[in-house]
Structure 1
Amino acid sequence: MTDVSAVTAWLRAFAGVVEENKDALTALDSAIGDADHGINMSRGMTAVVAALDAGQFDTIGALAKKVGMTLVSTVGGASGPLYGTFFLRFATTAGEATSLDPAEVAKALRAGLEGVVARGRPEPGDKTMYDALAPALDALDTALAGGGSLAEGLQAASEAADAGRDATIPMLARKGRASYLGERSVGHQDPGATSTALLIATAARTLP
Protein backbone atom coordinates (compact mmCIF):
# COMPACT_ATOMS: atom_id res chain seq x y z
CA MET A 1 0.00 0.00 0.00
CA THR A 2 1.12 3.54 -0.77
CA ASP A 3 0.48 5.80 2.22
CA VAL A 4 0.84 9.51 2.99
CA SER A 5 4.47 9.11 4.02
CA ALA A 6 5.31 7.36 0.74
CA VAL A 7 3.72 10.11 -1.36
CA THR A 8 5.53 12.69 0.77
CA ALA A 9 8.82 10.89 0.17
CA TRP A 10 8.10 10.89 -3.59
CA LEU A 11 7.51 14.63 -3.61
CA ARG A 12 10.57 15.43 -1.51
CA ALA A 13 12.71 13.24 -3.72
CA PHE A 14 11.31 14.86 -6.86
CA ALA A 15 12.16 18.28 -5.46
CA GLY A 16 15.75 17.12 -5.05
CA VAL A 17 15.85 15.71 -8.58
CA VAL A 18 14.46 18.94 -10.01
CA GLU A 19 17.15 20.91 -8.20
CA GLU A 20 19.85 18.60 -9.54
CA ASN A 21 18.49 18.97 -13.08
CA LYS A 22 17.46 22.63 -12.92
CA ASP A 23 20.18 23.88 -15.24
CA ALA A 24 19.69 21.05 -17.71
CA LEU A 25 15.94 21.65 -17.87
CA THR A 26 16.50 25.36 -18.39
CA ALA A 27 19.05 24.65 -21.12
CA LEU A 28 16.51 22.48 -22.95
CA ASP A 29 13.93 25.25 -22.60
CA SER A 30 16.36 27.86 -23.87
CA ALA A 31 16.39 26.10 -27.23
CA ILE A 32 12.63 26.04 -27.82
CA GLY A 33 10.96 27.99 -25.01
CA ASP A 34 11.41 30.79 -22.50
CA ALA A 35 14.58 29.39 -20.90
CA ASP A 36 12.88 29.13 -17.52
CA HIS A 37 11.46 25.61 -17.11
CA GLY A 38 14.14 24.45 -14.69
CA ILE A 39 14.02 27.71 -12.76
CA ASN A 40 10.22 27.61 -12.53
CA MET A 41 10.07 23.96 -11.50
CA SER A 42 12.77 24.52 -8.90
CA ARG A 43 10.86 27.43 -7.43
CA GLY A 44 7.65 25.41 -7.36
CA MET A 45 9.12 22.32 -5.77
CA THR A 46 11.00 24.40 -3.21
CA ALA A 47 7.63 25.88 -2.25
CA VAL A 48 6.14 22.37 -2.12
CA VAL A 49 8.83 21.21 0.30
CA ALA A 50 8.18 24.27 2.46
CA ALA A 51 4.47 23.40 2.48
CA LEU A 52 5.26 19.81 3.43
CA ASP A 53 7.47 21.03 6.26
CA ALA A 54 4.78 23.39 7.54
CA GLY A 55 1.73 21.15 7.16
CA GLN A 56 0.24 18.02 8.65
CA PHE A 57 -1.63 15.88 6.15
CA ASP A 58 -3.86 13.04 7.28
CA THR A 59 -4.98 11.93 3.84
CA ILE A 60 -3.33 11.54 0.45
CA GLY A 61 -5.98 13.79 -1.06
CA ALA A 62 -5.21 16.64 1.33
CA LEU A 63 -1.50 16.29 0.67
CA ALA A 64 -1.82 16.23 -3.12
CA LYS A 65 -4.30 19.14 -3.09
CA LYS A 66 -1.81 21.28 -1.20
CA VAL A 67 0.91 20.33 -3.68
CA GLY A 68 -1.30 21.18 -6.64
CA MET A 69 -2.36 24.54 -5.24
CA THR A 70 1.23 25.39 -4.38
CA LEU A 71 2.45 24.60 -7.89
CA VAL A 72 -0.34 26.61 -9.53
CA SER A 73 0.51 29.64 -7.39
CA THR A 74 4.31 29.51 -7.60
CA VAL A 75 5.33 28.04 -10.97
CA GLY A 76 5.35 30.37 -13.94
CA GLY A 77 4.57 29.63 -17.57
CA ALA A 78 2.50 26.64 -18.63
CA SER A 79 4.15 24.28 -16.17
CA GLY A 80 2.39 25.62 -13.08
CA PRO A 81 -1.17 25.09 -14.30
CA LEU A 82 -0.32 21.73 -15.87
CA TYR A 83 1.60 20.21 -12.98
CA GLY A 84 -0.78 21.84 -10.51
CA THR A 85 -3.81 20.40 -12.26
CA PHE A 86 -2.12 16.99 -12.36
CA PHE A 87 -1.84 16.92 -8.58
CA LEU A 88 -5.26 18.49 -7.99
CA ARG A 89 -6.91 15.75 -10.03
CA PHE A 90 -4.72 13.16 -8.29
CA ALA A 91 -6.00 14.59 -5.00
CA THR A 92 -9.65 14.40 -5.98
CA THR A 93 -9.33 10.76 -6.96
CA ALA A 94 -7.32 9.80 -3.86
CA GLY A 95 -9.87 11.56 -1.69
CA GLU A 96 -9.91 10.76 2.00
CA ALA A 97 -7.79 7.64 1.66
CA THR A 98 -4.78 7.28 3.94
CA SER A 99 -3.30 4.61 1.67
CA LEU A 100 -3.79 3.39 -1.89
CA ASP A 101 -3.36 -0.04 -3.41
CA PRO A 102 -1.51 -0.30 -6.77
CA ALA A 103 -4.70 -0.03 -8.84
CA GLU A 104 -5.75 3.05 -6.88
CA VAL A 105 -2.33 4.64 -7.40
CA ALA A 106 -2.67 4.04 -11.13
CA LYS A 107 -6.20 5.48 -11.10
CA ALA A 108 -5.06 8.63 -9.30
CA LEU A 109 -2.15 9.10 -11.71
CA ARG A 110 -4.52 8.57 -14.65
CA ALA A 111 -6.80 11.25 -13.24
CA GLY A 112 -3.80 13.56 -13.17
CA LEU A 113 -3.15 12.89 -16.84
CA GLU A 114 -6.79 13.60 -17.62
CA GLY A 115 -6.39 16.92 -15.83
CA VAL A 116 -3.38 17.78 -17.97
CA VAL A 117 -5.42 16.96 -21.08
CA ALA A 118 -8.36 19.07 -19.91
CA ARG A 119 -6.07 22.01 -19.15
CA GLY A 120 -3.68 21.97 -22.09
CA ARG A 121 -5.54 19.96 -24.76
CA PRO A 122 -2.39 18.10 -25.82
CA GLU A 123 -2.45 15.27 -28.32
CA PRO A 124 0.14 12.57 -29.00
CA GLY A 125 3.03 14.00 -30.98
CA ASP A 126 2.49 17.62 -29.96
CA LYS A 127 5.93 17.62 -28.26
CA THR A 128 4.72 18.18 -24.70
CA MET A 129 4.77 16.49 -21.30
CA TYR A 130 1.86 14.38 -22.54
CA ASP A 131 4.24 12.47 -24.81
CA ALA A 132 6.07 11.14 -21.73
CA LEU A 133 3.15 10.92 -19.29
CA ALA A 134 0.57 9.09 -21.40
CA PRO A 135 2.85 6.20 -22.44
CA ALA A 136 4.06 5.91 -18.85
CA LEU A 137 0.58 5.41 -17.46
CA ASP A 138 -0.36 3.03 -20.27
CA ALA A 139 2.68 0.94 -19.33
CA LEU A 140 1.72 1.05 -15.65
CA ASP A 141 -1.81 -0.11 -16.40
CA THR A 142 -0.54 -2.91 -18.64
CA ALA A 143 1.90 -4.14 -16.03
CA LEU A 144 -0.69 -4.15 -13.25
CA ALA A 145 -3.27 -5.85 -15.46
CA GLY A 146 -0.72 -8.58 -16.10
CA GLY A 147 -0.30 -9.23 -12.41
CA GLY A 148 2.78 -7.08 -11.86
CA SER A 149 3.54 -5.31 -8.61
CA LEU A 150 3.47 -1.54 -8.23
CA ALA A 151 7.27 -1.58 -8.30
CA GLU A 152 7.26 -3.46 -11.59
CA GLY A 153 4.55 -1.24 -12.99
CA LEU A 154 6.30 1.99 -12.10
CA GLN A 155 9.58 0.70 -13.50
CA ALA A 156 7.81 -0.04 -16.78
CA ALA A 157 6.21 3.39 -16.58
CA SER A 158 9.58 5.05 -16.10
CA GLU A 159 11.05 3.26 -19.09
CA ALA A 160 8.06 4.29 -21.20
CA ALA A 161 8.33 7.89 -20.00
CA ASP A 162 12.01 7.96 -20.94
CA ALA A 163 11.19 6.60 -24.39
CA GLY A 164 8.43 9.17 -24.76
CA ARG A 165 10.81 11.94 -23.71
CA ASP A 166 13.37 10.85 -26.29
CA ALA A 167 10.67 10.58 -28.95
CA THR A 168 10.00 14.32 -28.63
CA ILE A 169 13.39 15.15 -30.15
CA PRO A 170 12.40 14.71 -33.81
CA MET A 171 8.88 16.06 -33.27
CA LEU A 172 7.58 19.33 -34.66
CA ALA A 173 6.13 21.29 -31.74
CA ARG A 174 2.43 22.01 -32.02
CA LYS A 175 1.78 23.51 -28.59
CA GLY A 176 3.14 26.34 -26.49
CA ARG A 177 6.04 28.66 -27.15
CA ALA A 178 7.95 25.96 -29.02
CA SER A 179 5.23 25.85 -31.69
CA TYR A 180 6.17 29.39 -32.73
CA LEU A 181 9.51 28.08 -33.97
CA GLY A 182 7.98 25.78 -36.58
CA GLU A 183 10.61 23.54 -38.14
CA ARG A 184 13.29 24.95 -35.84
CA SER A 185 11.67 23.06 -32.95
CA VAL A 186 12.69 19.77 -34.59
CA GLY A 187 15.80 18.18 -33.10
CA HIS A 188 15.27 19.45 -29.54
CA GLN A 189 14.11 17.44 -26.53
CA ASP A 190 10.99 18.81 -24.90
CA PRO A 191 11.69 20.15 -21.39
CA GLY A 192 8.21 19.34 -20.09
CA ALA A 193 8.49 15.74 -21.23
CA THR A 194 11.90 15.64 -19.57
CA SER A 195 10.69 16.84 -16.18
CA THR A 196 7.74 14.44 -16.45
CA ALA A 197 10.10 11.53 -17.04
CA LEU A 198 11.98 12.61 -13.92
CA LEU A 199 8.71 12.65 -11.96
CA ILE A 200 7.88 9.09 -13.00
CA ALA A 201 11.44 7.85 -12.45
CA THR A 202 11.32 9.29 -8.93
CA ALA A 203 7.99 7.57 -8.30
CA ALA A 204 9.54 4.27 -9.37
CA ARG A 205 12.25 4.71 -6.73
CA THR A 206 10.10 5.94 -3.87
CA LEU A 207 6.45 4.85 -4.11
CA PRO A 208 6.66 1.02 -4.06
Structure 2
Amino acid sequence: MSKSAARSMASMFQMMSQMIETEKDHLSELDGAIGDGDHGITMSIGFLAINAELSKLDLDRASLSDVMSTAASGFLNAVGASTGPLYATGFRRAAKALAGHDALDLSACTDVIEAISAGIRERGKGQRGDKTMLDVWLPAADAAAHARAENKPVDAYWHDVVTAADNGAAATRSMIATKGRAARVRERSLGHIDPGAASAALLIRVMAEALRPDRRDGA
Protein backbone atom coordinates (compact mmCIF):
# COMPACT_ATOMS: atom_id res chain seq x y z
CA MET A 1 0.00 0.00 0.00
CA SER A 2 1.34 3.40 -0.93
CA LYS A 3 2.06 5.78 1.90
CA SER A 4 1.11 9.44 1.70
CA ALA A 5 3.98 11.85 1.05
CA ALA A 6 3.46 13.39 4.48
CA ARG A 7 3.75 9.98 6.15
CA SER A 8 6.90 9.26 4.16
CA MET A 9 8.47 12.49 5.36
CA ALA A 10 7.41 11.79 8.94
CA SER A 11 9.02 8.35 8.61
CA MET A 12 12.18 10.06 7.42
CA PHE A 13 12.34 12.07 10.64
CA GLN A 14 11.79 8.90 12.68
CA MET A 15 14.70 7.27 10.86
CA MET A 16 16.84 10.34 11.45
CA SER A 17 16.12 10.16 15.16
CA GLN A 18 17.01 6.47 15.23
CA MET A 19 20.31 7.17 13.44
CA ILE A 20 21.17 9.97 15.85
CA GLU A 21 20.42 7.72 18.83
CA THR A 22 22.76 5.08 17.39
CA GLU A 23 25.54 7.60 16.75
CA LYS A 24 24.88 9.89 19.73
CA ASP A 25 27.92 8.89 21.76
CA HIS A 26 30.22 9.08 18.76
CA LEU A 27 28.97 12.57 17.86
CA SER A 28 29.52 13.77 21.42
CA GLU A 29 32.99 12.23 21.39
CA LEU A 30 33.82 14.19 18.22
CA ASP A 31 32.46 17.32 19.89
CA GLY A 32 34.50 16.68 23.02
CA ALA A 33 37.70 17.16 21.02
CA ILE A 34 36.86 20.68 19.82
CA GLY A 35 33.64 21.78 21.56
CA ASP A 36 31.49 21.18 24.61
CA GLY A 37 31.05 17.44 24.07
CA ASP A 38 27.26 17.56 23.88
CA HIS A 39 26.47 17.55 20.15
CA GLY A 40 25.09 14.03 20.14
CA ILE A 41 22.86 14.78 23.11
CA THR A 42 21.68 18.02 21.54
CA MET A 43 20.78 16.35 18.26
CA SER A 44 19.06 13.52 20.10
CA ILE A 45 16.89 15.94 22.06
CA GLY A 46 16.03 17.87 18.91
CA PHE A 47 14.94 14.90 16.82
CA LEU A 48 13.03 13.25 19.63
CA ALA A 49 11.14 16.54 19.98
CA ILE A 50 10.43 16.64 16.26
CA ASN A 51 8.87 13.20 16.35
CA ALA A 52 6.85 14.04 19.46
CA GLU A 53 5.34 16.99 17.60
CA LEU A 54 4.80 15.02 14.39
CA SER A 55 2.89 12.38 16.35
CA LYS A 56 0.22 15.02 16.97
CA LEU A 57 -0.30 15.70 13.25
CA ASP A 58 -3.00 14.05 11.17
CA LEU A 59 -0.59 12.80 8.53
CA ASP A 60 -3.40 11.73 6.22
CA ARG A 61 -4.43 15.37 5.94
CA ALA A 62 -1.13 17.16 6.48
CA SER A 63 0.92 18.55 3.60
CA LEU A 64 4.65 18.13 3.13
CA SER A 65 5.02 21.76 4.13
CA ASP A 66 3.08 21.08 7.35
CA VAL A 67 5.43 18.25 8.29
CA MET A 68 8.56 20.31 7.69
CA SER A 69 7.15 23.34 9.50
CA THR A 70 6.25 21.16 12.49
CA ALA A 71 9.78 19.75 12.48
CA ALA A 72 11.20 23.27 12.56
CA SER A 73 9.10 24.30 15.54
CA GLY A 74 9.76 21.06 17.42
CA PHE A 75 13.51 21.31 17.00
CA LEU A 76 13.72 24.98 17.93
CA ASN A 77 11.56 24.60 21.03
CA ALA A 78 13.72 21.74 22.31
CA VAL A 79 17.20 22.95 21.39
CA GLY A 80 18.29 26.35 22.61
CA ALA A 81 21.90 26.04 21.46
CA SER A 82 23.07 27.39 18.12
CA THR A 83 22.14 24.14 16.40
CA GLY A 84 18.48 24.78 17.19
CA PRO A 85 18.04 28.06 15.29
CA LEU A 86 20.22 26.80 12.43
CA TYR A 87 18.20 23.68 11.70
CA ALA A 88 14.91 25.40 12.50
CA THR A 89 15.68 28.07 9.91
CA GLY A 90 16.68 25.42 7.39
CA PHE A 91 13.52 23.41 7.99
CA ARG A 92 11.36 26.54 7.74
CA ARG A 93 12.94 27.39 4.40
CA ALA A 94 12.28 23.82 3.29
CA ALA A 95 8.64 24.12 4.39
CA LYS A 96 8.26 27.14 2.09
CA ALA A 97 9.99 25.32 -0.74
CA LEU A 98 7.60 22.37 -0.37
CA ALA A 99 4.49 24.55 -0.60
CA GLY A 100 4.16 23.73 -4.29
CA HIS A 101 4.87 20.01 -3.96
CA ASP A 102 2.53 17.17 -3.12
CA ALA A 103 4.96 14.33 -3.95
CA LEU A 104 8.49 13.50 -2.85
CA ASP A 105 9.99 13.29 -6.32
CA LEU A 106 13.56 14.36 -7.07
CA SER A 107 12.41 17.90 -7.75
CA ALA A 108 10.99 18.15 -4.23
CA CYS A 109 14.04 16.46 -2.72
CA THR A 110 16.34 18.92 -4.47
CA ASP A 111 14.28 21.85 -3.25
CA VAL A 112 14.43 20.52 0.31
CA ILE A 113 18.20 20.03 0.34
CA GLU A 114 18.82 23.42 -1.25
CA ALA A 115 16.42 25.16 1.13
CA ILE A 116 17.87 23.58 4.27
CA SER A 117 21.36 24.53 3.11
CA ALA A 118 20.32 28.09 2.31
CA GLY A 119 18.51 28.50 5.63
CA ILE A 120 21.50 27.28 7.64
CA ARG A 121 23.86 29.53 5.69
CA GLU A 122 21.56 32.51 6.11
CA ARG A 123 21.11 32.03 9.86
CA GLY A 124 24.72 31.17 10.61
CA LYS A 125 26.22 33.61 8.12
CA GLY A 126 28.74 30.92 7.20
CA GLN A 127 30.29 29.41 4.12
CA ARG A 128 32.20 26.35 2.98
CA GLY A 129 35.57 26.07 4.64
CA ASP A 130 34.40 27.34 8.04
CA LYS A 131 34.47 23.77 9.41
CA THR A 132 30.74 23.50 10.11
CA MET A 133 27.70 21.58 8.92
CA LEU A 134 27.71 23.83 5.85
CA ASP A 135 30.72 21.91 4.58
CA VAL A 136 28.25 19.05 4.15
CA TRP A 137 24.96 20.75 3.32
CA LEU A 138 26.30 23.11 0.64
CA PRO A 139 28.14 20.47 -1.44
CA ALA A 140 25.16 18.14 -1.04
CA ALA A 141 22.89 20.88 -2.38
CA ASP A 142 25.23 21.49 -5.31
CA ALA A 143 25.34 17.76 -6.07
CA ALA A 144 21.54 17.52 -5.92
CA ALA A 145 21.10 20.48 -8.27
CA HIS A 146 23.64 19.12 -10.76
CA ALA A 147 22.21 15.59 -10.69
CA ARG A 148 18.72 16.97 -11.18
CA ALA A 149 19.83 19.20 -14.06
CA GLU A 150 21.46 16.20 -15.72
CA ASN A 151 18.25 14.21 -15.21
CA LYS A 152 20.07 11.42 -13.41
CA PRO A 153 18.04 8.41 -12.23
CA VAL A 154 17.16 8.07 -8.56
CA ASP A 155 20.04 5.82 -7.52
CA ALA A 156 22.65 7.97 -9.27
CA TYR A 157 21.10 11.14 -7.87
CA TRP A 158 21.31 9.97 -4.27
CA HIS A 159 24.75 8.45 -4.80
CA ASP A 160 26.04 11.86 -5.87
CA VAL A 161 24.36 13.64 -2.95
CA VAL A 162 25.55 11.19 -0.28
CA THR A 163 29.07 11.11 -1.72
CA ALA A 164 29.25 14.91 -1.65
CA ALA A 165 28.02 14.93 1.94
CA ASP A 166 30.46 12.26 3.11
CA ASN A 167 33.37 13.94 1.35
CA GLY A 168 32.38 17.27 2.85
CA ALA A 169 32.37 15.85 6.36
CA ALA A 170 35.75 14.16 5.85
CA ALA A 171 37.23 17.39 4.49
CA THR A 172 36.57 19.20 7.76
CA ARG A 173 39.40 17.20 9.34
CA SER A 174 41.91 19.35 7.44
CA MET A 175 40.20 22.67 8.29
CA ILE A 176 40.68 25.19 11.09
CA ALA A 177 37.38 26.21 12.65
CA THR A 178 36.35 29.83 12.17
CA LYS A 179 32.70 29.54 13.25
CA GLY A 180 30.87 28.14 16.23
CA ARG A 181 32.28 26.86 19.49
CA ALA A 182 35.15 25.09 17.76
CA ALA A 183 36.46 28.49 16.63
CA ARG A 184 37.53 29.08 20.22
CA VAL A 185 40.28 26.47 19.87
CA ARG A 186 41.31 27.59 16.37
CA GLU A 187 44.41 25.60 15.32
CA ARG A 188 43.67 22.86 17.84
CA SER A 189 40.59 21.99 15.78
CA LEU A 190 42.87 20.85 12.95
CA GLY A 191 42.86 17.09 12.53
CA HIS A 192 39.34 16.62 13.94
CA ILE A 193 36.12 16.07 11.99
CA ASP A 194 33.53 18.69 12.82
CA PRO A 195 30.67 17.05 14.78
CA GLY A 196 28.02 19.17 13.08
CA ALA A 197 29.34 18.08 9.70
CA ALA A 198 29.38 14.47 10.84
CA SER A 199 25.75 14.59 11.97
CA ALA A 200 24.71 16.42 8.79
CA ALA A 201 26.22 13.65 6.68
CA LEU A 202 24.26 11.10 8.71
CA LEU A 203 21.02 13.02 8.13
CA ILE A 204 21.61 13.18 4.39
CA ARG A 205 22.38 9.48 4.30
CA VAL A 206 19.04 8.83 6.02
CA MET A 207 17.26 11.08 3.51
CA ALA A 208 18.68 9.00 0.69
CA GLU A 209 17.39 5.82 2.31
CA ALA A 210 14.01 7.14 3.44
CA LEU A 211 13.03 9.00 0.27
CA ARG A 212 13.82 6.27 -2.25
CA PRO A 213 10.63 5.38 -4.15
CA ASP A 214 10.76 1.72 -3.12
CA ARG A 215 11.07 2.75 0.55
CA ARG A 216 8.33 5.37 0.30
CA ASP A 217 5.90 3.03 -1.37
CA GLY A 218 6.26 0.32 1.23
CA ALA A 219 3.91 -0.23 4.11
| TM-score > 0.5, shorter chain as reference | yes
Structure 2 runs not aligned, ≥5 long: 213-219
Displacement of 1:169? 0.4
Cα distance in 1 for residues equivalent to 2:153 and 2:53? 31
Q: Contact conserved, 1:4 with 1:60, CA < 8 A, in 2? A: yes
Q: Contact conserved, 1:141 with 1:153, CA < 8 A, in 2? A: no
Cα distance in 2 for residues equivalent to 1:52 and 1:76? 19
SS of the residue corresponding to residue 168 of structure 1 reads helix
Counterpart residue identity of residue 155, structure 1:
H
Aligned to 2:65: 61
Aligned to 1:72: 76
Aligned to 1:42: 44
Displacement of 1:2? 8.4
Matches within 5 A, 1:14-25: 14-25=16-27
TM-score by length of 1: 0.95
Is 1:148 matched with 2:152? yes
Is 1:6 matched with 2:8? yes
Aligned residues: 208
Q: Contact conserved, 2:113 with 2:144, CA < 8 A, in 1? A: no
Q: Aligned in 2, Cα 1:133/1:2: closer, same or farther, shift over 3 Å?
A: farther
Aligned to 1:191: 195
Q: Contact conserved, 1:94 with 1:100, CA < 8 A, in 2? A: no
Q: Contact conserved, 1:161 with 1:197, CA < 8 A, in 2? A: yes
Which string of whole-angstrom CA distances, capped at 9 and with x for unpartnered residues, describes residues 151-187 of structure 1? Answer: 4212211111000000000100000111110111111
Which one is further off, 71-80 or 58-67? 71-80
Aligned to 1:27: 29
Displacement of 1:103? 1.6
Counterpart residue identity of residue 34, structure 1:
D
Counterpart residue identity of residue 113, structure 2:
L
Matches within 5 A, 1:100-139: 100-139=104-143
Q: Aligned in 2, Cα 1:181/1:55: closer, same or farther, shift over 3 Å?
A: same
Aligned to 2:53: 51
Identity %: 37
Q: Aligned in 2, Cα 1:2/1:82: closer, same or farther, shift over 3 Å?
A: farther
SS of the residue corresponding to residue 21 of structure 1 reads helix
Counterpart residue identity of residue 199, structure 1:
L
Which one is further off, 148-157 or 162-171? 148-157
Q: Report the aligned-residue RMSD.
A: 1.6
Displacement of 1:76? 3.4
Cα distance in 1 for residues equivalent to 2:17 and 2:94? 18
Q: Aligned in 2, Cα 1:43/1:71: closer, same or farther, shift over 3 Å?
A: same
TM-score by length of 2: 0.90
Aligned to 1:182: 186
Which string of whole-angstrom CA distances, capped at 9 and with x for unpartnered residues, describes residues 122-175 of structure 1? Answer: 111000000011111111111121121344212211111000000000100000
Structure 1 runs not aligned, ≥5 long: none
